[in-house]
Amino acid sequence: MIRYELPPSRSVDHTDIETVLGPDGRADPHLDPKLDSALVVKIYEAMLRTRVLDDRMLALQRQGRVSFHVGCKGEEAAIIASAAALRTEDWIFPCYRELGALLWRGFPLQRYVDNMYGNADDVVQGRQMPDHVTGKQWAYASVSSPIGTQIMHAVGFGWAAKLKRQKLATAVYFGDGATSTPDFHTGLNFAGVYKTPTIFLCRNNRWAISVPSDKQTASASFAAKGAAYGVRSVRVDGNDALATYRAVREAVERSHEGPTLLELVTYRLGGHSTSDDPKAYRLQEEVDLQSKGDPLTRLRRHLELLGAWNELQERRFVSQLDSEIKQCVEIAEKKPAPELRSMFDGVYAERPWHLDEQYELTKRGPRPGKE
Amino acid sequence: MIRYELPPSRSVDHTDIETVLGPDGRADPHLDPKLDSALVVKIYEAMLRTRVLDDRMLALQRQGRVSFHVGCKGEEAAIIASAAALRTEDWIFPCYRELGALLWRGFPLQRYVDNMYGNADDVVQGRQMPDHVTGKQWAYASVSSPIGTQIMHAVGFGWAAKLKRQKLATAVYFGDGATSTPDFHTGLNFAGVYKTPTIFLCRNNRWAISVPSDKQTASASFAAKGAAYGVRSVRVDGNDALATYRAVREAVERSHEGPTLLELVTYRLGGHSTSDDPKAYRLQEEVDLQSKGDPLTRLRRHLELLGAWNELQERRFVSQLDSEIKQCVEIAEKKPAPELRSMFDGVYAERPWHLDEQYELTKRGPRPGKE
Amino acid sequence: MPEMTMVQAINDALRISMRDDERVVLLGEDVGKVGGVFRVTAGLQDEFGAERVIDTPLAEGGIVGASIGMAMYGLRPVPEIQFADFIYPAFDQIVSEAAKYRYRSGGEFGIPMVIRTPFGGGIRGGHYHSQSPESLFIHVAGLKVVCPSNPYDAKGLLLSAIRDEDPVLFFEPKRVYRAAKMDVPEGDYAVPLSKAKVVREGAHVTVLAWGAMLYEAVAAAEEVAPKVDVEVIDLRTLWPVDIDTIVASVKKTGRVVVVHEAPRTCGFGAELVSLVCEKAFLHLEAPPVRVTGHDTPFPYTLENDYLPLAHRIVPALLETAAY
Amino acid sequence: MPEMTMVQAINDALRISMRDDERVVLLGEDVGKVGGVFRVTAGLQDEFGAERVIDTPLAEGGIVGASIGMAMYGLRPVPEIQFADFIYPAFDQIVSEAAKYRYRSGGEFGIPMVIRTPFGGGIRGGHYHSQSPESLFIHVAGLKVVCPSNPYDAKGLLLSAIRDEDPVLFFEPKRVYRAAKMDVPEGDYAVPLSKAKVVREGAHVTVLAWGAMLYEAVAAAEEVAPKVDVEVIDLRTLWPVDIDTIVASVKKTGRVVVVHEAPRTCGFGAELVSLVCEKAFLHLEAPPVRVTGHDTPFPYTLENDYLPLAHRIVPALLETAAY
Ligand SMILES: Cc1ncc(C[n+]2csc(CCOP(=O)(O)OP(=O)(O)O)c2C)c(N)n1
Ligand SMILES: Cc1ncc(C[n+]2csc(CCOP(=O)(O)OP(=O)(O)O)c2C)c(N)n1
Ligand SMILES: [Mg+2]
Ligand SMILES: [Mg+2]
């Protein structure tokens, strides 16, 4: 097991971390999950795709064309390799950074871009902020903003499946900051007591907006918290796609025995969201240092060693993706806003009298001008 | 270190437990806190006093003279020896079973009985249920019913003292069930990060109403939970007054370094409260077995060995206490109910217009008949 | 027809639902082995097993949060909150998640779930075993709020609530739990949600009430009967409320008194007064009146001065009628 | 006199309080090093140190719960909840503990604490960065609720709130945060709690509003000015509300419109309508009207159809005036 050295300044590490990919791009032969190289390429492409998308959404936000974006730059391995290790029947309960996991499962890009614009074709009908999607068909729950709340849902869903003797696991993503919430505590505790088939994926990206992870807890690590609930836990190099895949796969395979908590140690290379300027609270040197551990670079080095990826492929992939994005954006921007009635529908399965009244009154107008 | 054997059925133990008093009443010479025997007698008397009081309040409740009582039968060592190990400047944040700790600090018995009756002299003016007292003068916070909420207060209070460079510790009592609440999680986490001078006293009395402690968590023990927060923790025989004293004293002495979590392993010999009938969910055999570890018996055996206590003293103490209780009850029963205005006062520092109105209207009457 | 207390009627509704529908599961603190601190779930773990009648750790947010996940899976969870006073640790899961899940997921996921909880005063419970927090939930879009006043309705409303597609808060007036028995049909039947019931017809004043206070309203109505002819409406479902029944009655009587245990300010009474003003202003012959709990925490010793019992409703009826 | 935005005015009030009173401490998520996500606490950690301007772990219940303990010790904590939408994890500590502590301890402990939180819509925040939950807290006895509409009031009200002996919820309309500058006196001054302000005098209709919607109310009043003479009252403190100013105005105009962003049902508007009916019924020439947010979660794309902006207030004013 190769130790991947994290910079000591912000480190909460006092426990080992599971790493497969060495700095030279070689996989530790003892830990290598020995994936088909086509699969690894697919994972790499998905990571790259997310990276490019983040960049383009950021640009659109800066141009004032979308109002907000929350990306996952630096956390692509933690998100995509974990999703890749799940089975189709396993459910994902996302935080807000796991779009890559949803796209991995086949969510169409146009559908995503429509959500960014909150237009009439947005799956959530423009009701939520950008990047707050849902994908039931892809076994992907609804993104919401409150930190941690999805953890209990993943536990309850997996618990229900277990009661119904259905074999599936639920994977729930959350950040290091989320470990301080009530739902983390309750989720791990219920999962431990009822041995639910839940995989807790703690993306320790070292920051909760401006709060560094060593101010979030005095625990030796986030993985160490599992013991408080009798929950098996592993600390994994979350910038290492192979290590992440391997650990999640194992958790999936053991999910019928009960839950696993995985701390995926990674780093948020970008701002918290487009609303955030991290220069106000962290040093560029830290970011530069962490950029050296960029999960894309590490996996690409590995693929290049295997002869499975090269610069030409990379460029071709990006340019094709770019035209795809461009097209989706053009389409999305032409679509109208959701209809007024969409605001009053769906609060309940059937619209009750008071919402009928409110709808009728609002429809009668006057309606607001463009601000 | 003598291992005190807990019955395996309900046991969540997989870690050692700190014990001083052996089954023969002898103190382990290496761990004996070597207290002045007068102090130990005082602790024993306070434990006995609580035991008798519980019994008498239960009887009053059965006679319909008080409406409710929540006692601590079986947990007297955990409660009183811990309180005895605190310094006067240390603050207590109670759950609802720690009346003994308050009496230890000098809270007058009449004041307690007035609270049981919710009469005009009740310190909380008949506003709360019986056994929900307050004792600011004795550095004792307000008892409330919601489980766990006091934990954060103890952390905040100790944190404030630390900011003000005042040396004091806060001791917070709660049950095994309370470890599942958000406040336990948040309290331990904040205390760990800010190194607050907080002593977390988890009375593991093995039951949360009808839920046994091994259904409360899959953790190897409650003490084991401290590690999740970087908080020092110790598992103590809470039926052993000397072990409890010793562990709390150590936590007090180390409180300037930061918090300690103590799991005081004990047993709730009685019902949860007068509203509860434990026969519905636990076997009499378990209670009988646990009665053998009765903390009073264990400490009394020790005192008798030392020649510091005997049957005569015991009887004299009880009969004197009995007449004291009887007198307090007689007085309390003669006192009137709180005045109507007490219901409208004290919601805010000054009574606002709407409560003036509500008071005036209610005063005008009609008032309710006796039901 | 057997006679049942409300406790028995609710137990019966749960049993019927669970026999009828494999998806129904119960969970909460002490609901399993001991059958709940009020014995509402007594015997159900014996019949349906510990997997469907689940004793949970002490965490209301966990109980509701897990129920949401279960509902997403396709179950019909019926979580119990031991006392409504302890619902606040679950507030975030109820308000931020259960209430909004259907809407914010574009209808992909509904959360059919009934949160049962004993509420209300009159059992010497002081601050934390007496509260009536219904208006907090009525304010939150996406929730339904139900409150039966008698065994028959309790059973029928609960059966309807469990079959409803949306999250329902089901407030059980614990003062009524064992106070009276009533004929309750065996087997399945429904009392529909959002239908109020005129329990006493009258021409002069309309009283709107629910839960335990319904009896006080009726008692007060009887007391003033020689002078004032009072119509008493049991709302049964608080939200979405049966506005038609209310408006029809107020248009007839021109006078309205709302009675509730919860503190007055921003209680549901305020909403009812506003609705009546909006929909029947020109029919009002007197200002709508609220007889409610006071704006204080719920007291122990003086609880009968706190509650809007008949002795406080009577003068309100007389004054309103004479206005 | 310097010109300040509301963000600057609140920052100034915090600075003055902290210089003036050693007991004042700030705590919350991201309030320290980065000075808050809206930069309201910018520069304060530099001046007062990390012990008095504290970045906390991500737990609102912890922030408020610790503040209660600090207040019991004798400090004057000013916790920040990053968005009002995230206050629910702290709901139990606010409702069960802070609100009741003085009362239930027989007055032994007060909890002087100001919970600051940005609230309201209009910044494209969707469900969870737009909510206006004020009525939930107004319903809870023992809390005070304040909401400034402009920089001057924000500073003066916050200074008063921090010096108040009871827990105060201080809702800051984030739509107004940087929307406008205003002359704000340097140094210390107070805007008293529970005093409303008539911001526009008028004879025909009274409008009650607060926070960001005040501007919409004023805009609507100007728009109808040729036909209807509207009096606009900025409540400033929502609870305990300045009932005298309200009643005096309604007795004068005989007509009242309440405007708020929060969902209509059981919003504070319902309470205001009820109070007006109770205290000025015979003066009413038209039913009180509510122009409010809808009973849906707060939407993203259509937020201007959700909010009770001037375009929706205008017809309400005209109809009320013509009633
Ligand atoms: C309950 C709650 N409190 C506060 C916020 C505001 N907020 C949004 S993201 C965030 C930090 C989250 O950090 P972390 O859990 O580490 O996730 P990351 O963003 O780093 O992926 C905060 C405080 C929120 N969304 N929900
Ligand atoms: C938040 C909350 N939920 C539920 C209850 C009801 N209740 C009262 S005591 C209790 C069990 C507490 O168990 P534990 O923490 O072990 O303390 P013990 O009574 O055993 O001392 C419960 C569930 C409550 N008071 N507060
Ligand atoms: Mg993070
Ligand atoms: Mg216990």
The pLDDT profile of chain A, 371 residues, written as one tens digit per residue, is 333 333 332 333 446 899 999 989 999 999 999 999 999 999 999 999 999 999 999 999 999 999 999 999 999 999 999 999 999 999 999 999 999 999 999 999 999 999 999 999 999 999 999 999 999 999 999 999 999 999 999 999 999 999 999 999 999 999 999 999 999 999 999 999 999 999 999 999 999 999 999 999 999 999 999 999 999 999 999 999 999 999 999 999 999 999 999 999 999 999 999 999 999 999 999 999 999 999 999 999 999 999 999 999 999 999 999 999 999 999 999 999 999 999 999 999 999 999 999 999 999 999 997 54
Q: Give the bridge partners for D232, in sequence order.
A: D200, D207
Residues from D contacting A (CB-CB < 8 Å) are 29-30, 32-35, 37, 55-59, 61-62, 85-86, 88-89, 124-129, 264-265, 294-297, 299-302, 304-306, 309, 311-312, 314-315
Is the Cβ–Cβ distance between D307 and D293 less than 8 Å? yes
Output the pLDDT for position A167: 97
Output the pLDDT for position A15: 64
Is A281 an 8 Å CB contact of chain D? yes
Q: For strand C182-183 and strand A91-93, is the pairing parallel, antiparallel, or unpaired?
A: unpaired
Buried b (16+ CB within 10 A) or exposed e, B46-68: bbbbbbbbbbbbbebbeeeebbb
Tokens of A58: 């950021």
Output the pLDDT for position A369: 79
Is the Cβ–Cβ distance between B153 and B186 less than 8 Å? no
Span C28-46, average pLDDT:
97
The three-state secondary structure class of C54 is strand
Which is catalytic among the residues A49, A268, A300, A302?
Answer: A268
DSSP state of B236: E
Query: Considering chain C, what percentage of its residues have pLDDT values greater than 70?
Result: 100
How far apart are alpha carbons C223 and B332 in whole angstroms?
A: 36
Which residues have any ligand 1 atom within 6 Å of their CB?
Answer: A 97, 145-147, 174-178, 203, 205, 207-209, 268, 272; D 29, 58, 60, 82, 86, 89
Tokens of D239: 């609870």
Nearest CA to ligand 2 atom 11: B208
Residue of B nearest to C35 (CA): B280
Confidence of residue B15 (pLDDT cuts 50, 70, 90): low
Distance from CA of C14 to the nearest CA of B (A): 21
Distance B172 CA to ligand 2 centre (A): 15
Nearest CA to ligand 1 atom 3: D86
- Whether B23 has a pLDDT exceeding 90, the answer reads no
State the ipTM, two decimals.
Answer: 0.97
Buried b (16+ CB within 10 A) or exposed e, D309-323: bbbbbbbbbbebbee
Tokens of C97: 């998640």
3-state per-residue secondary structure call for B284-310? HHHHHHHHCCCHHHHHHHHHHHCCCCC
Span between the terminal Cα atoms of chain B, in Å: 58
Most informative mutation of C86, C119, C129 for ligand 2 (most atoms within 8 A of CB) = C86
**Residues from chain C contacting residue A186 (CB–CB below 8 Å):** 57, 59, 61-62, 65
Distance D299 CA to ligand 1 centre (A): 21
Q: Which other chains touch chain D, taking contact as 3+ CB pairs less than 8 Å apart?
A: A, B, C
Mean pLDDT (chain D) is: 98
Is the Cβ–Cβ distance between A315 and A38 less than 8 Å? no
Span C212-233, average pLDDT:
98
Answer yes or no: do B156 and D65 touch at CB < 8 A.
Answer: yes
Counting from 1 in the atom list of ligand 1, the atom nearest the Cα of C92 is 1
How far apart are alpha carbons D38 and D82 in whole angstroms?
A: 9
Which is catalytic among the residues B281, B315, B316, B354?
Answer: B281
Counting from 1 in the atom list of ligand 2, the atom nearest the Cα of B146 is 26
D142, D274, D286: residue with CB nearest C270 = D274
How far apart are alpha carbons B134 and C85 in whole angstroms?
A: 21
**Residues from chain D contacting residue C138 (CB–CB below 8 Å):** 265-266
Listed as ranges, residues in chain D with pLDDT below 50 are none
Nearest CA to ligand 2 atom 7: B147
* Surface-to-core class of residue C296, CB atoms within 10 Å of its CB (0-12 exposed, 13-18 middle, 19+ buried): buried
Cβ neighbours of residue B320 under 8 Å, at least 6 residues apart? Answer: none
CA angle, residues C152, C157, C162, in degrees to nearest 5? 135
How far apart are alpha carbons D209 and D298 in whole angstroms?
A: 19
Residue of C nearest to A137 (CA): C108
- What order of strands is seen across the sheet that includes strand D76-80? D53-55, D24-28, D76-80, D113-119, D167-173, D144-146, D237-239
How far apart are alpha carbons D82 and A210 in whole angstroms?
A: 13
**Residues from chain B contacting residue C88 (CB–CB below 8 Å):** 146
Cβ neighbour number for residue D20 with a 10 Å cutoff: 13
Is the Cβ–Cβ distance between C217 and C232 less than 8 Å? yes
Question: Chain A window 44-103: which residues touch D at a Cβ cutoff of 8 Å?
Answer: 67-68
DSSP state of D59: -
Residue of B nearest to D140 (CA): B347
Is the Cβ–Cβ distance between D257 and D271 less than 8 Å? no
Is the Cβ–Cβ distance between B219 and A192 less than 8 Å? yes
Angle formed by the axes of helices A311-334 and A37-62, to 10°? 50
Is there an atom of ligand 2 within 6 Å of C59 CB? no
Is A126 an 8 Å CB contact of chain B? no
- Whether B80 has a pLDDT exceeding 80, the answer reads yes
Which contiguous run of DSSP H or E holds residue C153? Answer: helix C151-163
Span between the terminal Cα atoms of chain A, in Å: 58
The three-state secondary structure class of C226 is coil
| Among the listed residues A118, A89, A123, A86, the one whose alpha carbon sits nearest the alpha carbon of residue A104 | A86
Is the Cβ–Cβ distance between A361 and D289 less than 8 Å? no
Q: For strand D197-200 and strand D167-173, is the pairing parallel, antiparallel, or unpaired?
A: unpaired
Residue of D nearest to A341 (CA): D302
How far apart are alpha carbons D187 and D40 in whole angstroms?
A: 17
Distance from CA of D60 to the nearest CA of A (A): 8
Question: Chain A window 106-135: which residues touch C at a Cβ cutoff of 8 Å?
Answer: 122-125, 127-128, 132, 134-135
How far apart are alpha carbons C158 and C24 in whole angstroms?
A: 12
A141, A146, A346: residue with CB nearest C96 = A146
Q: Give the bridge partners for C182, in sequence order.
A: C4
A65-91: per-residue pLDDT in tens? 999 999 999 999 999 999 999 999 999
- Whether B12 has a pLDDT exceeding 80, the answer reads no
How far apart are alpha carbons A153 and D72 in whole angstroms?
A: 36
How far apart are alpha carbons D94 and A100 in whole angstroms?
A: 38
Helical H segments across chain A, by residue range? 37-62, 76, 82-85, 99-104, 109-117, 149-163, 182-194, 213-216, 241-253, 284-291, 295-305, 311-334, 341-344, 353-364
Counting from 1 in the atom list of ligand 2, the atom nearest the Cα of B179 is 15
Residues in chain C, how many? 323
Which contiguous run of DSSP H or E holds residue D171? Answer: strand D167-173
Tokens of D175: 């739509």
Is B343 an 8 Å CB contact of chain C? yes
The three-state secondary structure class of A307 is coil
Cβ neighbour number for residue A110 with a 10 Å cutoff: 17
| Residue pointed to by tokens 């919710």 | B118
**Residues from chain A contacting residue D58 (CB–CB below 8 Å):** 147-148, 177-178, 180-181, 208, 211, 216
Is the Cβ–Cβ distance between C121 and C306 less than 8 Å? yes
Report long-range pairs for D29-34 (Cβ below 8 Å, ≥24 apart). Answer: D29/A208, D29/A209, D29/A211, D29/D55, D29/D56, D29/D58, D29/D63, D29/D80, D29/D82, D30/A209, D30/A210, D30/A211, D30/D55, D30/D82, D31/D55, D31/D80, D32/A210, D33/A210, D33/A280, D33/A281, D34/A209, D34/A210, D34/A280, D34/A281
Distance B176 CA to ligand 4 centre (A): 5
Around ion ligand 3, residues with a beta carbon closer than 5 Å are: A 175-176, 205, 208
Q: For strand D113-119 and strand D167-173, is the pairing parallel, antiparallel, or unpaired?
A: parallel
B146, B156, B163: residue with CB nearest D68 = B156
Output the pLDDT for position B16: 87
Tokens of D196: 């409303």
Q: Give the bridge partners for D231, in sequence order.
A: D206
**Residues from chain A contacting residue B180 (CB–CB below 8 Å):** 185-186, 189
Q: Which other chains touch chain A, taking contact as 3+ CB pairs less than 8 Å apart?
A: B, C, D
Alpha-carbon distances of C69 from C74, C102, D117, rounded to whole Å: 9, 13, 30
Residue of C nearest to A194 (CA): C56
What Rg do the C-alpha atoms of chain B give, in angstroms? 21
Nearest CA to ligand 2 atom 19: B208
C132-169: per-residue pLDDT in tens? 999 999 999 999 999 999 999 999 999 999 999 999 99
Answer yes or no: do C57 and B215 touch at CB < 8 A.
Answer: yes
Nearest CA to ligand 2 atom 18: B175
Tokens of B135: 């004792």
| Residue pointed to by tokens 């139990």 | D92
Helical H segments across B14-106, by residue range? 37-62, 76, 82-85, 99-104
Answer yes or no: do C312 and B354 touch at CB < 8 A.
Answer: no
**Residues from chain B contacting residue A229 (CB–CB below 8 Å):** 217-219
Tokens of A235: 């600390």
Helical H segments across chain D, by residue range? 6-20, 44-48, 60-73, 91-92, 101-104, 134-138, 151-163, 213-224, 243-253, 268-280, 303-306, 310-322
Question: Chain A window 160-199: which residues touch D at a Cβ cutoff of 8 Å?
Answer: 177-178, 180-182
**Residues from chain A contacting residue C142 (CB–CB below 8 Å):** 347-348
How far apart are alpha carbons D223 and B180 in whole angstroms?
A: 57
Cβ neighbours of residue C71 under 8 Å, at least 6 residues apart? Answer: A156, C77, C110, C111, C112, C113
Output the pLDDT for position D180: 87
Whole-prediction pTM: 0.97
Is the Cβ–Cβ distance between A229 and A258 less than 8 Å? no
Q: For strand D144-146 and strand D237-239, is the pairing parallel, antiparallel, or unpaired?
A: antiparallel
